[in-house]
Amino acid sequence: METILASIAVISGLAGIFGFGLAYANKRLAVEKDPKIQDLEEILPSVNCGACGYAGCSAYAEALANENADTTLCAPGGSDVIKKIASILGVDASEKTPMTARIYCGGDDVKTKIKYKYNGTYDCVSANALFGGFLECPTGCLGLGSCVKVCNFDAIKIDENGNTVIIDEKCTGCGACVLACPKHLIELVAKNKPVFVACNTTDKGGVCNKYCKVSCIGCKKCEKACQDDAIHVNNFLAKIDYDKCTACGACVKVCPTKCIHTNDPSILEEKPSPKEAEKVAV
């Protein structure tokens, strides 16, 4: 018994000595963090999403303070954080266009056909590894939520019909979902450009319409309706040139399969013609 107690006493004593030594060394050898880095860490959102290209908010703060990193890289923080960063660093604040994610697929469990029943891991990457997924559409959204899992802002949801939806009000344009999608269906677009083509297939209209009722059939009605030359059909798929798009909504209105969407319903409201507007003004 005495031997056991003696052993415990020795171990406890050694633990105390080592603990005191580590505490002393920590205090004596500690490297003080640059106050500027601490100030930057406090204003950054601490979500560590990686949108800035660095390992996390702390790494970005260090790069800002020590490497003259671009002050506009924090997508989740937006303009407010950019201005605060500029204030701390003593540089001019640059404006950054708010971005949001767009999913180039509007198919869901009701409108699209499947080619086999999938019972594997509930994950788009895993499903895509098995013959490109279970959908007849080779480029369609699998709807298993890989993008949802990586979103730190609760800005993506799968609705009751299995359609993947971006919530613009919550999306910060961090780009995590873009990297997560195995079908490469998600892109970042300026929030002030609310019109997009929710399709990514280049199959001919007669082919894709058999497996998806909301696919682009390459009819070119949108191309003819656009007065800004902002949308063109190539390889049976309509693409929008956002440098030219004025979000007039003409393409949305004429699309026969409703594959062209807008997140701003107001642009679809009937507006009076110039002549009618003049009459109202008088």
Of 148, 176, 191, at which residue does a domain stop? 191
The mean predicted confidence, pLDDT, of the chain is: 88
4 or 153: which leads in pLDDT: 153
Domain extent for 205:
193-265
- Res 256: pLDDT: 96
DSSP state of 40: H
Q: What is the pTM of this model?
A: 0.76
For residue 270, being part of any structural domain is answered with no
Domain of residue 65, CATH code:
1.10.15.40
Residue 133 pLDDT class (50, 70, 90 cuts): very high
Domain of residue 113, CATH code:
3.30.70.20
> CA-CA distances (angstroms) from residue 4 to 15, 35, 183?
16, 50, 64
Total domains in the chain come to: 3
| Tokens describing residue 261 | 């969407």
Region 39-56: mean pLDDT is 89
Is residue 33 scored above 60 in pLDDT? yes
- Res 17: pLDDT: 72
- Check whether residue 185 and residue 207 sit in a common domain: no
Lowest mean pLDDT among 26-30, 40-44, 68-72, 157-161: 26-30
Residue 49 pLDDT class (50, 70, 90 cuts): confident
- Res 16: pLDDT: 66
What radius of gyration, in Å, describes the C-alpha atoms of the chain?
27
For 230, other C-beta atoms within 10 Å of its C-beta total 22
